[in-house]
Chain A
Amino acid sequence: MRQLTGRQAVAEALMEEMMRDEKVFLLGEDIGIYGGAFGVTAGFIEKFGPERVRNTPISEAAIVGAAVGASMTGMRPVCEIMFMDFVTIASDQLVNQAAKLRFMFGGQAKAPMVLRTPAGAAAAGGQHTQSLEAWFTHIPGLKVVMPSTPYDLKGLLKASIRDDNPVLFVEHKLGYGEKGEVPEEDYVIPLGVADIKREGKDVTIIATSHMVFKALEAAKYLEQKEGIDAEVVDPRTLVPLDIDTIVNSVCKTGRAVIVHEACERGGVGGEIAARIIDSRAFDYLDAPIKRVGGLNIPVPYCPVLEKAYIPSVEKIVKAVKEVVY
């Protein structure tokens, strides 16, 4: 099968959805001739023109708010916020408006919009590296999608664009360069279905976004060096969360380690752990559930410190060995 990068996969999803539905349009900073800060929309303005590829001033609140209003009135906007950190500036529109309006209006309205944004550490210091997904999983009314592989990025972005709810679609900066198989033919991955990235019987590693690749590396090491057979589960969407796949896996292995790049405190790991404990998997657990998250500090600029902030393969291996005894 052909190989695409994460960047190409996201671009292809956008391209196909824009061709399928003329109501789909893009807005964001530097998405025009510059092609987006990470090059995702390179060539789009040339193909679709400035009406449907709307290069905006630096105004995050207006970008997301305009998407809300346009989506309430018949369009299907996909906005790009250059770094996930900047979603904070648009958070009123996302959190107080988009997420809640359907409920508050008693079902009279909907906001079928997507907010795409890259998260994750990449040598840029505290305001360009955060993974803030947990904040948004706390908001009823929002869907939160956070894929890892090119295949998942493409299929889930298409589903997000077709979804009638506001979707926060979190990409990872390092995921843009990851390569993976993506079929030529059209496909959509439904939101709320986890994927078992590697089967195993001794321990379940639940990992999100770019941490999936690290978890797979750790699993390989554990098999070769420690004789431990790890299963790696990628939830792919955090809201809705496919808890059944996770619970089934933990029932099989009796052990769970949860990995995400966001700070450990208040991260989605706590929620996933609570859901496991609150399920039939409780009776199958042979060890405490471990979380491996980013340190509870702002992401440091210094490359040595940044490396220490991000969960490493070694830390995942260590956590697994702590629960497999």
Chain B
Amino acid sequence: MQLSKETQIKMYEDMLKIRAFEEQVDEFISRGAITGTTHLCIGQEAVAVGACYAIRHDDYIASTHRGHGHCIAKGAQIDKMMAELFGKETGYCKGRGGSLHIVDMSTNNLGANGIVGGGIPIAVGAALSVKMQKQDKVVVCFFGDGAMNQGAFHEAANLASVWKLPVVFLCENNQYGMSTPLNEAFNIKDLSIRAEGYGMEGITIDGNDLLEVYQTVKDFAEKARSGEGPNLIVAETYRWKGHSKSDPRKYRTREEEQEWMKKDPIAAFEKKLIKEGILSEQKAEEIKEKVEKIIEDAVKYAQESPYPSVENITDYVYVEEEA
């Protein structure tokens, strides 16, 4: 493992940032301070952070409706994200997109997506572009287990493989697509065997183990980068919260949730860092306080920012000629 202590601490901090961001958003959503809906990734932080740290800054990611974690891990600013969720002009999408479309193109994030599976062919297109422009970037394409049953996944996976494009298909298998459990949506247990049908390598890993995610994505990304073509990683994880706003979670038991919460990716990594002497309990506290402050500042920024002006409502529909 070539990860420095500093990097590991940064990864820990980013996971905390994601969780704190999501908890804050959850609170705002449940009391109506943020309109609309959002999909929280609490419990899945290790996939976002492990994957984004395993690739270069100029590599691309394609995200999903559950995309706050990907966005943060790829390097987005918390304040501009929070402002977006508030629908403010200072948000990443100038309030036009909201949580479902959150994106920071400056970090080569190709965007969250409101359409399940919608981002997968786009990721393949980005990889095609990389190849045609003779760049050496890869694309990490996040999607859920549910998305794997969209035609878009199958068509895109096949195309990427036939054209040997540098894509890592990264399935976050959180055991449910909304209310539908795996066994109602798949007649296979290990989703990674689907890779074989498209002539690519596939693997299933523990998505709550940060370093396992990191190492696998790193290896797979380098294979894709070196011209071997795409591959598929299925990261097993769990979403702690409801699918979206106001989900009573009738389709699963509280006991099952408790079991998965014991496998908290952040707590596990924290324990490991402390055990290895990389992190002290005091330092962990300091980081948590720092993260809290970042969230507080972001909330303040978002709340104090203006809404977009209705006068400019038709901006960005088309590319306008520069004056």
A302 with B88: CB separation less than 8 A: yes
A309 with B313: CB separation less than 8 A: yes
Is B106 part of the binding interface, using a Cβ–Cβ cutoff of 8 Å?
no
User: Per-residue 0/1 for B79-99: is the Cβ within 8 Å of any A Cβ (1 yes, 0 no)?
Assistant: 000000001100001011110
Could you tell me the distance in whole angstroms from the C-beta of B8 to the nearest C-beta in chain A?
Answer: 36
Please measure, in the bound complex, the distance between the C-alpha atom of A3 and the C-alpha atom of B295, giving whole angstroms: 46
Please measure, in the bound complex, the distance between the C-alpha atom of A296 and the C-alpha atom of B152, giving whole angstroms: 28
Contacting A at CB under 8 A, from B261-311, are 307-308, 310
B251 to chain A: which residues have CB within 8 Å?
33-34
User: Per-residue 0/1 for A287-307: is the Cβ within 8 Å of any B Cβ (1 yes, 0 no)?
Assistant: 000000001111011111100
Count of A-B contacts judged by CB separation below 8 Å: 122
A301 with B115: CB separation less than 8 A: no
User: Per-residue 0/1 for B88-129: is the Cβ within 8 Å of any A Cβ (1 yes, 0 no)?
Assistant: 100001011110110000000000011111100000000000
Is B149 part of the binding interface, using a Cβ–Cβ cutoff of 8 Å?
yes
Is A29 part of the binding interface, using a Cβ–Cβ cutoff of 8 Å?
yes
Please measure, in the bound complex, the distance between the C-alpha atom of A295 and the C-alpha atom of B317, giving whole angstroms: 11
B314 with A297: CB separation less than 8 A: yes
Of B100, B185, B307, the residue contacting A124 (CB under 8 A) is B100
A59 with B95: CB separation less than 8 A: no
Please measure, in the bound complex, the distance between the C-alpha atom of A57 and the C-alpha atom of B146, giving whole angstroms: 7
Of A29, A60, A89, A305, the residue contacting B308 (CB under 8 A) is A305
B37 to chain A: which residues have CB within 8 Å?
123-124
Of A33, A62, A301, A308, the residue contacting B97 (CB under 8 A) is A301
Of B96, B115, B116, B185, the residue contacting A305 (CB under 8 A) is B96
B97 with A126: CB separation less than 8 A: yes
Could you tell me the distance in whole angstroms from the C-beta of B311 to the nearest C-beta in chain A?
Answer: 10
B87 with A302: CB separation less than 8 A: yes
Known: A125-B101, A127-B115. A301 touches B36 (CB 8 A): yes
A57 with B95: CB separation less than 8 A: no
A296 to chain B: which residues have CB within 8 Å?
314, 317
A127 to chain B: which residues have CB within 8 Å?
100-101, 113-115, 118
Of B35, B150, B186, the residue contacting A89 (CB under 8 A) is B150
Is B178 part of the binding interface, using a Cβ–Cβ cutoff of 8 Å?
yes
B96 with A34: CB separation less than 8 A: no
B115 with A89: CB separation less than 8 A: yes
B100 with A304: CB separation less than 8 A: no
A300 to chain B: which residues have CB within 8 Å?
95-96, 308, 313
A303 with B313: CB separation less than 8 A: no
A125 with B185: CB separation less than 8 A: no
B95 to chain A: which residues have CB within 8 Å?
300-302, 305
Could you tell me the distance in whole angstroms from the C-beta of B143 to the nearest C-beta in chain A?
Answer: 11
Could you tell me the distance in whole angstroms from the C-beta of A42 to the nearest C-beta in chain B?
Answer: 10
Residue of chain B at shortest CB distance from A122: B36
Is A61 part of the binding interface, using a Cβ–Cβ cutoff of 8 Å?
yes
User: Per-residue 0/1 for B159-191: is the Cβ within 8 Å of any A Cβ (1 yes, 0 no)?
Assistant: 000000000000000000111100011100000
A32 with B179: CB separation less than 8 A: yes
B36 with A125: CB separation less than 8 A: yes
Please measure, in the bound complex, the distance between the C-alpha atom of A60 and the C-alpha atom of B151, giving whole angstroms: 9
A62 to chain B: which residues have CB within 8 Å?
151
Is A284 part of the binding interface, using a Cβ–Cβ cutoff of 8 Å?
no
Known: A125-B101, A303-B87. A34 touches B178 (CB 8 A): yes
By CB atoms of chain B within 10 A, which of A62, A295, A302 has the most? A302
A55 to chain B: which residues have CB within 8 Å?
179-180, 184
Is B31 part of the binding interface, using a Cβ–Cβ cutoff of 8 Å?
no
Is B250 part of the binding interface, using a Cβ–Cβ cutoff of 8 Å?
yes
Known: A34-B251, A125-B97, A126-B114. A308 touches B310 (CB 8 A): yes
A57 with B149: CB separation less than 8 A: yes
Is A286 part of the binding interface, using a Cβ–Cβ cutoff of 8 Å?
no
A37 to chain B: which residues have CB within 8 Å?
178
Of A30, A58, A302, the residue contacting B150 (CB under 8 A) is A58
B310 with A58: CB separation less than 8 A: no
Could you tell me the distance in whole angstroms from the C-beta of A315 to the nearest C-beta in chain B?
Answer: 13
User: Per-residue 0/1 for B308-322: is the Cβ within 8 Å of any A Cβ (1 yes, 0 no)?
Assistant: 101001100100000
A295 to chain B: which residues have CB within 8 Å?
313-314
Is A128 part of the binding interface, using a Cβ–Cβ cutoff of 8 Å?
yes
Is B147 part of the binding interface, using a Cβ–Cβ cutoff of 8 Å?
yes
Task: Give me 26 A-to-B residue pairs in the complex whose CB atoms sit less than 8 angstroms apart, sorted by A's number.
Answer: A29-B177, A30-B178, A32-B179, A55-B179, A59-B149, A59-B151, A89-B151, A124-B36, A124-B37, A125-B97, A125-B98, A126-B101, A126-B114, A127-B101, A127-B113, A127-B114, A128-B100, A295-B314, A297-B314, A301-B98, A302-B98, A302-B307, A304-B307, A304-B310, A305-B87, A305-B307
9 smallest CB-CB distances across A and B, nearest first, come from: A127-B114, A301-B98, A302-B87, A34-B179, A302-B95, A57-B149, A123-B36, A57-B185, A123-B35
Q: Which residues of A approach B to under 8 Å, CB–CB? A: 29-30, 32-34, 37, 55-62, 85-86, 89, 123-128, 295-298, 300-305, 308-309
